[in-house]
Structure 1
Amino acid sequence: MLNQFKRKIWSQKTCVLNAIKGHHLSTKAKESGFGFKESVHILDNNYAVDDWTNITPKVVSLIGRNLYLKKGNPLYLLSEAIRHYFKDYDFFVFADPVVDLKSNFDSLLIPKDHVSRQKSDTYYVNKDYVLRSHTSAHQNHCLHKKSTAFVCIADVYRRDEIDRRHHSVFHQCEAFRLYHNNSPQLISRGINHVFESHKLVRTDSKQENHCQEVVDIIESEMKTTIEAFVRNLLWEDIPMRWVSAYFPFTHPSWELEIYHNNDWIEILGSGIVEHKLLQNAGINDNIGWALGIGLERLAMIRYQIPDIRLFWTNDSGFLSQFESACHSDKIVYKPISSHPQLIFDISFWLPQQVFWCCNDFYDLVRNIGGDLIEQVKVIDEYTTKEGKKSHTYRIVYRSHERMLSKDEVNVVHKQIERYVTDEWKVAMR
């Protein structure tokens, strides 16, 4: 349910703040760059293109791969491990990632002005539909099936930076658990009520209508369950700590951090589900918790996989290491590529009076370069006294399957240069 990438989708980037003001690159540049003129075909449906459309052919080409369902992929093994751990929970699969705005935002109490709704962060199919940015987009569907404990695993889509740990498509698992007045966890403590009968005051530690004693019990149940779950998946008693967090759909909320490679890293988000969210699903007498965890981040630690792009490869040298394995097998990935990086920089003056968003450029580079792109980042930016703005990007090219030549990379790099010059009207430095 909750974002495992340290709130990347909620980050207050300059481009997002500008996007809130309504600025964006021209529709013509978007359409010609991303390849869709009138409609886009996704799975079995066609969707009309409009001014909100910002998905790319590269992203669309990855829809339907369903790595978490493909035997031989480490994400499948991890998904099976999760299913076995939560064996008493209902398990849901939603193959189509296209959802409406209500499912992705409104049903989760995400405000209209929240930065996660901006085109800078979310892939819009058009003004009415997006590619789900979290598995929580299906939370209402699961609740309406009268499930009181469920797990949902799916591919999710976000516009983000490019490096070894981030990809425009990744996979997320959501676990959700409800409790009522007669739940054993409450009855065993002599409690037969979930809600306060008076003093409906929201505090840092509870929602308006929740009994503090009940919240404390559910919090303890949740944290104990999650800690055991993570230790089970990582095969060790790894150091952990809980950090208070904020999410629109839970209160109170926490992130779990683990100590890995001499550093604390956030591994998942969790919290007590907002009661209004449950009421909107027709559930009035329960309290519950939810967690959201990214499969790639967990699998990279579990199997010691260094690059997120490897999950998408069809290289038999990679897949053969996992194809005959069981979900409980302790596997350490053996590197299949020692090919060197090729690094190219690109510098240009931004077009004046046109909003520039880094994520637009990242998507363009990924769309042209595909899986040859290992990383893109801004390494320099400045503004002259006359108001001219300059950006320099470093693009790192590398294939896990073969050695790249400078000549073939230069062809791709020149394509990127030509596009931003001809379509986005930048001036090369």
Structure 2
Amino acid sequence: MKEKIQLLTQEIQAFNAKNADELEAFRIKFLGSKGILKSLFGDFKAVDNSLKKEIGQELNQLRQLANDTLNSQKGILESSKVKTKSNTDFTRPAEPIDIGARHPISIVKNQILDVFSRIGFTVSEGPEIEDDWHNFTALNLPEYHPARDMQDTFFIEQDPDILLRTHTSSVQVRFMENNQPPIRTISPGRVFRNEDISARAHCIFHQVEGLYIDTDVSFADLKQTLIYFTKEMFGKSRIRLRPSYFPFTEPSAEVDIYWGLQTETDYKITKGTGWLEIMGCGMVDPNVLKNVNIDPEKYSGYAFGMGIERIAMLLYQIPDIRMFYENDLRFIDQFKSVI
């Protein structure tokens, strides 16, 4: 029996199944209910008692070898089956990936933030659903102030004190409440006003507003900041400041840049004057500083704000503000080359 066990061991070690049928035949031959191992264990009863321990160990080793061989060969066949199952032709050219594009509002917003970040402005953000204090009262617009009519507001019906913010100046109020001068921050965000939608106006739009507060801040500092911005953003440094009115700044001004009259488009967008309004600005009203517990005797500051859509329409000659909100891929795809 020992010689037979040795021969069977060699046969099992040399076995290499080419397919599942051969592996199944191996299993039946060695491990089946009528297989060789079953027969050997039957013959084991007739072995001399002095040899039973030795031969019993060899039989157990033979059975273990058969089981291990069966399992390993089964794993090899299954692995091979997975590899050959794929019908993918890896030599074929890949399908082109449709690369998305940034929205022009995001492009322009990031450009504006980048310009001001170079001179120390940090970004601050706040909630779109505001309360009356941060959106109006703290900005020198107390209840029943006529200037509130300048901004047609969406109020929340359940609470007349809660509204959709009409400007990102509310973010500046929150920032001043939680930070002491020197303050140099810029606040981008979406704002809402109850206006009729047309080619030049929308009830939803985006603003960027800047704020600088420190000791001895003057209107000259504001003007130099604006000149720097227009030169970096538009490549034009000629500006003019026209007196205006904003409740939270005094004095206040509208900022125009000289766009020029070199092309027919220049004549059209500047109405033949060469000048184009881009933003509002002014020195922060002392009452605003008092409302946020900043001493107006010690500190002064300036603020400015602009509409992102207006700047984008100017830079890319977009004729209709509604195009920003229609999600038309033909429009968005035009900005794929813009970083």
Question: TM-score, normalization: structure 2?
Answer: 0.60
Letter in 2 for 1:135: T
Gaps of 5+ in 2: 1-99, 260-269
Asked if 1 retains the 8 angstrom alpha-carbon contact of 2:147 and 2:247, the reply is: no
In the TM superposition, residue 92 of structure 1 has moved relative to its aligned partner by: 1.4
User: Is 2:108 the partner of 1:78?
Assistant: yes
Alignment partner, residue 300 of structure 1: 313
Q: Output aligned runs, 1:273-292, within 5 Å.
A: 273-284=284-295, 285-292=298-305
Q: CA offsets per residue over residues 370-392 of structure 1, 9 Å max, x none?
A: xxxxxxxxxxxxxxxxxxxxxxx
Aligned AA (1:246): Y
The DSSP-based 3-state class of the residue aligned with 1:113 is coil
Q: 1:129 to 1:323 in 2, by over 3 A?
A: farther
* Separation of aligned partners in 1, 2:290 and 2:101: 39
Q: Distance in 2 between matches of 1:278 and 1:307?
A: 38
Q: Tell me what 2:131 maps to.
A: 100
| One-letter amino acid matched to 2:208 | C
Give the CA deviation at 1:164. Answer: 1.1
Query: Does the 8 Å contact 1:75/1:299 carry over to 2?
Result: yes
CA 1:144–1:219: 2 relative to 1, 3 Å: same
Among 115, 119, 125, the alignment partner of 2:156 is 125
Partner of 1:207: none
Question: Structure 1: where are the runs of 5+ without partners?
Answer: 1-69, 181-193, 195-213, 327-429
Root-mean-square deviation (CA), in Å? Answer: 2.2
Q: How far apart in 2 are the matches of 1:288 and 1:324?
A: 39
Q: 1: distance between equivalents of 2:252 and 2:150?
A: 26
Residue 145 (structure 1) aligns with = 178
Change (3 A) 1:149 1:118: same
Is 1:90 the equivalent of 2:101?
Answer: no
Q: Which amino acid aligns with 1:233?
A: M
Which residue type is aligned with residue 134 of structure 2? S
Q: Identify the residue that residue 211 of structure 2 maps to in structure 1.
A: 176
Deviation at 1:91, TM superposition (A): 0.3
Q: Is the 8 A contact 2:124 2:171 kept in 1?
A: no
Number of residue pairs the alignment of both structures matches: 220
Question: What is the deviation of 1:314?
Answer: 1.6
Distance 1:116 1:276, change over 3 A: closer
One-letter identity of the residue aligned with 1:162 = I
Q: CA deviation at 1:306?
A: 0.8
Is 2:169 the partner of 1:158?
no
- Superposition map of 1:197-276 within 5 A: 218-237=218-237, 239-260=238-259, 261=270, 262-263=272-273, 264-276=275-287
Secondary structure of 2:335's aligned partner: coil
The alpha-carbon deviation at position 179 of structure 1 amounts to 1.8
Shift of 1:71: 6.2
* Cα separation, 1, equivalents of 2:146 and 2:194: 12
Offset at 1:118?
Answer: 4.9
- Over alpha carbons, which structure has the higher Rg? 2
What secondary structure sits across from 2:173 in the alignment? Answer: helix
Q: Does the CA contact (< 8 Å) of 1:73 and 1:323 recur in 2? A: no
Match of 2:156, SS state, is: coil
> Could you say what secondary structure the match of 1:86 adopts?
helix
Q: Which amino acid aligns with 1:156?
A: V
Distance 1:290 1:119, change over 3 A: closer
Identity of aligned residues (%): 34
Q: TM-score, normalised by structure 1?
A: 0.48
Q: Aligned with 1:299: secondary structure?
A: helix
What is the SS of the residue equivalent to 2:334?
A: coil
Alpha-carbon contact 1:103-1:137 (below 8 Å) kept: yes
Q: Judge conservation of contact 1:234–1:301 (CA < 8 Å) in 2.
A: no
Deviations along 1:244-294, whole A, 9 cap, x unmatched?
111111111111123453244422111110122112212213110000111
- Residues 230, 257 of structure 2: 8 Å contact kept: no
Return closer, same or farther for 1:179/1:245 CA change in 2, 3 Å cut-off: same
Q: Using the alignment, how far apart are the partners of 1:304 and 1:93 within structure 2?
A: 29
